[in-house]
Amino acid sequence: MRYPEPLPAELRDGPLTVPLLRAHGIPESRLQRADITKLGAGVYLERRTAEQLDARGRLRHKAHGLLLDVPGSWLSHTTLATLRGLPLHTPHDDAIHLSVLNTCPNPPRRQGVIGHKAAAASDELVTLEGLHMSAPHRMWFECAALLSANALVVLGDSLVRRPRPRYEGRRKPHATLEALGAMIRRHPRTPGRSRARTAYDLIRVGADSAQETLLRLAIMRAGLPEPELQIPADPRLPRSPCADLGYRRWRIAIQYDGAWHFDPARAKGDRRVDRFFRARGWTVLRYFDADSRTGFADAVREIAQTIDQRRGAVA
C-alpha cells in the first residue's frame, strides 16, 4: 500500500480547499486520499485533526476554509450564533451563511452555503480568532430574517445578559440594547426589520437561559404583569440569593431549573436558597424542563393563582 505524501507544514491542521492546494502546487486528487476527510461545502481537513474536534470545532474549520476561498466575505446570521454557542431556539441549520458587501457582483454560491449581499458599517464587522464575522449586534439583526420573534428575544437576551466572569472569562456582555436598537434604525430596508422591532421591545437584561426568557414571554402572553429579573431575596445583603424572575411587590420568587440543577450539590444549594426566601416571607415556585415542553401552560396558571393569592394577602 502506497502512503500519501505528507502535506506541507503550513497546511497541516487547517482547512483544505482545491484553490489552496493548487496554490501550493498540489493536485486536487490529494483530497481523496484516506488521511483526508470532507467537512462539506468544498472544505476538507486532515482526518487525524477532524477526529479530535467536536461539532462546533468542525464547523469552525469549515467556516475558516470558506472564508479563505471567498475573499472579502464574512460569517453571518445563524452560523455565527452557532459558532459562539448562543441559543437559537430553532431547528438546526447545517448551511453556512456567508456575506459579502452589496458592491460585489454576486453573493457566494456553492452547495451547503447560503450567500448574502449586504451593506455593513465598519463597526458591524469584527475579526475573532482569525475569522472575519458580523459583530454580535449585527448578527442579531441578520437573524431577524430567519428566526421567529420569540427566538429573536431569546437570542437578544443572551447577548445583553451580564456575564459571570468567574465562569465565563469575560466581563462585558456580547452586545448592548443600544447597539441592537441602532441596527434597526441604521438599516430601514432590511428583511426582518419589523420582526426585529417587535423582538427588541421584549429583550431584557437579566435572563440567564433561553428557558427563563421563554417563561417570561409565556407569562406576559397570558396577560400577567411582566416579572422582574434577578430579584434578591434581601436587597440589603450584597450576596443575597436571587430569583431568576418574579414579583417583588407580592414576594413571589420564580426559578427555572435546567438539567444541571439535578446535580446533588446544586440541588442542595437550591434548597438552601428556597429556605432563605421563605424565611423572609416569599413564595417560591420552581419549574423544570417538563414545564417548558408544554410551553409553560401549567406554570403560567400556577403563577396567576399565586399572584391572586398574594394580592389578597398584601391587601
- Condensed to tens digits (0 to 9), the pLDDT of residues 146-164 reads 999 999 999 999 999 999 8
CA–CA separation, 284 vs 75, rounded Å? 43
In this prediction, residue 261 carries a pLDDT of 57
**41 and 138 belong to one structural domain:** no
Q: Are residues 74 and 201 in the same domain?
A: yes
276 and 231 belong to one structural domain: yes
Using an 8 Å Cβ cutoff, are 117 and 104 in contact? yes
Q: Tell me, what's the pLDDT at 1?
A: 47
Residues of the chain where predicted confidence (pLDDT) is lower than 70: 1-3, 259-262, 314-315
User: What is the distance between the alpha carbons of residues 40 and 88, in angstroms, rounded to a whole number?
Assistant: 22
Q: Same domain, yes or no, for 195 and 166? A: yes
What total number of domains does the chain contain?
A: 3
- 22, 52, 69 - which closes a domain: 69
Does residue 133 sit in the same domain as residue 54?
A: no
Distance CA 257, CA 150 (A): 20
Predicted TM-score of the model (pTM): 0.91
Q: Does one domain contain both 159 and 105?
A: yes
Cell digits of residue 143: 437573524
Q: What is the pLDDT of residue 262?
A: 65
Distance CA 118, CA 107 (A): 9
CATH number of the domain where residue 292 is located: 3.40.960.10
234 and 160 in a common domain: no
Mean pLDDT of the chain: 93
Residues 149, 120 within the same domain? yes
Query: Are 241 and 147 within one domain?
Result: no
For the chain, percent of residues with pLDDT exceeding 90:
85
For 120, the domain range is: 70-205
Question: Would you state the pLDDT for residue 3?
Answer: 64
Instruction: State pLDDT tens for residues 260-310.
Output: 656 777 788 889 999 999 999 999 999 999 999 999 999 999 999 999 999
Q: Could you tell me if 296 and 241 lie in one domain?
A: yes
pLDDT of residue 202: 98
Please say whether the beta carbons of 3 and 29 come within 8 A: no
User: Same domain for 222 and 262?
Assistant: yes
Q: Which of 18, 35, 69 is the last residue of a domain?
A: 69
Whether residue 15 is found in the same domain as residue 3: yes
Tally the residues of the chain: 315
User: Domain boundary at 187, 205, 223, which?
Assistant: 205
d(CA 315, CA 312): 5
* Sheet containing 131-134: order of strands: 113-118, 96-101, 74-75, 131-134, 125-128
